[in-house]
Structure 1
Amino acid sequence: MNGELKDAAASPDGRPAELYERLIADLDAAGARYRLIDHPAEGRTDLVSAMRGHDVAHAAKCLVVMVKAGKKRTRYVLAVVPGDARLDLQAVKDLLDGTYAAFAGREKAEELAGSVSGTVLPFGYHPRLEVIADPALLRAPELYFNAARLDRSVALHTDDYRRIAAPRVAPITTAS
C-alpha cells in the first residue's frame, strides 16, 4: 500500500464512507491484528491512555506539521510519535531540507487528516501528508490510537502498522 491506504468506499447515498469505517475496512483487508477499545470520549493522549490501560509511551500521538522549503514550496508531514514524547520541529525541518517548520493550524490539520483534533489517525489518507514515525514508538508490540472518533480506540500490532502505513522512520522527538 506504500503508505497510502485504499480509496474510501462510497456509502449507499454516494457520499464517502466515514473515516472510522474506512480505517476498519482497510485494517481488515490488510489482515491486521488489532482490537477495538470503547471508552468515554477523550482526545488527550495522557487521559485516554489511562482509560485504555496502557503506558502513554505506547500511544501514537499524531501531529500535522507544515514544512516550508523556500518561499514557494510547502509540504505537510503527519508526525507519529510516542504519547509521552515531544516532537522536535527542528528534526522534521532538517529531515525534509526545509527552511521553516511549524505545527499546521487546526483547520488545515483537520482538513488533511480528515478528522478532528484528538482523533487523527497514524495513516496518511491525504496525498499531501507524508507519514514519519519516530523509531521509539515502533519498539512497543502494540500501538494505541483513537480510531477517528473520541470514544473508540484501536490497539494495533506494531508490525502490522509498519507494513500497512509504510511510514518513513526517523528520529523526530526530543527529550521532554
Structure 2
Amino acid sequence: MSLHTFDRLISLLDAGGARYRVVDHPSAGKTEEVAKVRGTVHGQGAKGLVCHVKGNGIKRHVLAVLPADCQADLAALAKGVGGSRASLASPVEVATLTDCVFGAIPPFSFHDELLLVADPLLFSRFDELAFNAGLLERSLILATEDYRRIADPKPVSFARLTPS
C-alpha cells in the first residue's frame, strides 16, 4: 500500500547508519510463510499490532511490536502503558495511523499519536529482525541493535511464546 512509508523508513535507516538489506518477495499471508520467502527464521519477524489502550485516564493508540512467533497479551500491554484494557484497532485506524495495511506495518511509528512499544524478547533472540516494510511484497532485514537504537521503542513486556 505504501511506497511512501517504505521511502521514509529507508531515509531514517540510512540517516542512522543502519545495517539492513531489502528483500523483494511474493506476498505471503502468514508470518511463517513470510519467513520462508525471506529466508529467515519465524522468530526473527517483528510483528506490529496497532492497538487502543484505555482506562486509568489513558486513551491512546499504540504500535506494539513483538516477535512473530509470539502472541500478544493485551492485558499486559495495557498495564505496561498505564491503561487497564487494550484491543486491536480497526483496519481504517491502522491505515490512518500507519499508511499501511495489516501485515505490512513496519515496527516504526511515523505518527505523533501512535506510541511505539516493543517487547524486550524482540532484542534477545536474534542479531537481525525481519519485517514487511510498508508493502506486503517488500521486507527489510535489519540489525536488531540498529532497530533498538533508531526506533527507540518503549520496552513493555507483553509477548507470550506460542507452543511449537
TM-score over 0.5 for the pair: yes
Q: How far does the alpha carbon of each residue in 1:58-91 deviate from its partner, in whole angstroms, 9 at most, with x for none? A: 1000001101125x74111111000000001010
- Alignment of 1:172 with 2:158, yes or no, is yes
Match of residue 54, structure 1, among 37, 40, 61? 40
How far is the alpha carbon of 1:174 from its aligned partner? 2.1
Give distance in 2, aligned partners of 1:100 and 1:87.
13
Match of 1:106 in 2: 91
- For 1:165, the aligned partner's letter is A
- Listed as ranges, the gaps of 5+ residues in structure 2 are none
TM-score (norm 1): 0.85
Assess if the C-alpha contact under 8 Å between 2:79 and 2:85 holds in 1. no
- Corresponding residue of 1:97: 82
Is 1:163–2:138 an aligned residue pair?
no
The structure in which a higher percent of residues are helix is 2
Residue number in structure 2 paired with 1:78: 63
> Which residue does the alignment assign to 1:145?
131
Q: What is the root-mean-square deviation in Å for CA atoms of aligned residues?
A: 1.5
Give 1:28's match in structure 2, choosing from 11, 14, 18. 14
Matched residue SS, 2:77: helix
**Larger Cα Rg: Structure 1 or Structure 2?**
1
Report the AA paired with residue 130 of structure 1. L
Instruction: Provide the TM-score with structure 2 as the length reference.
Output: 0.91
- 1:7-63: CA deviations, max 9, x gaps? xxxxxxxxxx81111111111111110001111122531111111111111100000
Q: Displacement, 1:99?
A: 2.6
SS in 2 for 1:35: strand
Contact between 1:135 and 1:170, CA under 8 Å: does it hold in 2? Answer: yes
Aligned pair count reads: 159
CA-CA distance at 1:96 after TM superposition: 2.0
Q: Given residue 132 of structure 2, which amino acid in structure 1 is its aligned partner?
A: N
